[in-house]
Structure formats: structure tokens, C-alpha cells
Amino acid sequence: MATLSRIQVYPIKSLDAVELNEVKVTPHGMLENDRCYALFEGNGNIIKAKDCAKLHQLRAKVNLKSLQTCFQAHGKKETFHLEDERVAVGNWLSQILQRPVKLQRDDRIGFADDWTATGPTLISTATLEAVASWFDDLSVEEIRKRLRTNLEVEGVPAFWEDQLYGPKEGDLVSFRVGNIELFGKNACQRCPVPTRDMTTGEKTKNFSKTFVKARQENLPPWAHRERFDHFYRVAINTLPGTIGPGAQIQVGDEIEILGHTAPVLT
């Protein structure tokens, strides 16, 4: 039986996860507090880990109730309130990253990379274990940190989630997590982040090459090969179904596949 085993949100885009037992889901399908903050450069561009490896050297421990956040990097440590001290956060991080930084917030759909898929990302624990097995010196926990997925599923085989999208672009698969309906959109295209050590930012030699070869060789029979323009893809992006006020999911919720095709949502 497919069961939700882990929930992770990333309050500040590209920084550390917060693990939860339950979480509210917004009408847009976004998990509450997931990537609701982001760091911006002076030119208005978001500072993303895929473009700034220095972010991997920065720790950010967020208390979601109080919004008190402890930042730590290069032997320096400071605590700020994310709302009341946004300017101070930006000033401190400007010194750490050696560039002008501003902290901004968006509660509507957050700062996801894929604006066409505002639901949570999903992967199975068995998939994380399989990917870790492709590398001699990487643990499951390190792969989990590198892939930065919101929802983790247990009780299913590796790459089980590859059945949660249809054979053609725009073909969605509906599934339920607890009482929440989601639609699988596609296998996530990965950026440079998974190639790097999550503490130092250093690249793992031949990570992409090893990953692509093993992913292609281990593609499950239920995956739609035609949806893979390349094999540097894992986990799935989702869209929300109809989500009412106060909706939430929690660890232990059963996951049920409802239908294999559905219209594209807008």
C-alpha cells in the first residue's frame, strides 16, 4: 500500500528543509510555507542554488511558528525574524554571499521553479535508495537532500511515481493523498543542484553521466519512455485538483491512483 512517509517544505527557496508530520495545502496546491521566501539580487532576479553553489554552504534553521531563523555560514551565526527583520536578513546574507541580497515573500504560489505545476513534488523512498545505490559514496539522506522533494512515499517499488503521468504532454494522472486530489504532470527535469555536495557545494565527479546511464537502464516498464527527452529526470511535478479551505495532508495518509488521464488544468 502506498503511504505518505515524509513531508518536507523549504521555507526559503534553495535553503534547508523543514520536516513536518502534517501540512496545510493552499487552493493553488502549494504546501503551506513551501518556498514562500526567496533571496533576490539587486536586479530583481532570484538567487537560486543552481546558479549559486555558495548557497549550499549556508544553513538556515527555520521555526515555522515563530519565524525565528538561525542562519549559519563560514563560522558566523545569526538569528533573525523573517518578517520583522527582512532588511537585516538581506544585509547579513549580502556579506555572506558577497552580493546585494533582499528577502521577499509570496504566499500565493511561492517561488517554485515550474510555474505550470504548483503542486508538491513527489518521490518514493525506494527511488531514493535506488539512486543512492548508483554512487559508492552517497547516502540515501544525501540523495534526499540533493533532490529536495516535498512528499515521500513508502510501501512501493523504486520509480513507482513514474506511473503518475500520462504518455503524452498534457496527459495527467489523478491520484489522492489522504483527501487531497493531485494530478501528476511529468518527471522532474533536474538542474545542477543534485550534482553537488549539499554542505560544501563541490561537484560529485561524473554525477550526471552516472545518473543518466543508470536511470535509462532502470526505467520501469510502467514509465512512458516517450516522455523522456533525456534521462536526467526523477520524481514528479504535480498540479492540484479542487482543494477547499483548510485542506491538509499528513504522514500516514494512503495514496491512491484514481485515473490514468485527465484534462490539463489551468
Query: What are 196-243's pLDDT values in tens digits?
Result: 999 999 999 999 999 999 999 999 999 999 999 999 999 999 999 888
Share of the chain above pLDDT 90, in %: 86
Q: For 96-109, what is each residue's pLDDT tens digit?
A: 999 999 999 998 78
Asked if 266 and 214 touch (Cβ cutoff 8 Å), the reply is no
List C-alpha distances in Å: 154 to 46, 193, 218, 227, 254.
Answer: 34, 24, 19, 24, 10
| C-alpha span between 8 and 21 (Å, rounded) | 9
Q: What's phi and psi for 80, nearest 5 deg?
A: -135, 160
Task: Please name the residues in contact with 129: beta carbons below 8 A apart, sequence gap of 6 or more.
Answer: 140, 158
Supply the pTM of this predicted model: 0.94
- pLDDT, position 266: 41
Q: What domains are defined for the chain?
A: 3-31+113-259 (2.40.33), 37-105 (no CATH)
Cα 27 to the center of its chain, rounded Å? 19
Query: What average pLDDT does the chain have?
Result: 94
For residue 260, pLDDT over 80 is answered with no
Q: What is the pLDDT of residue 36?
A: 95
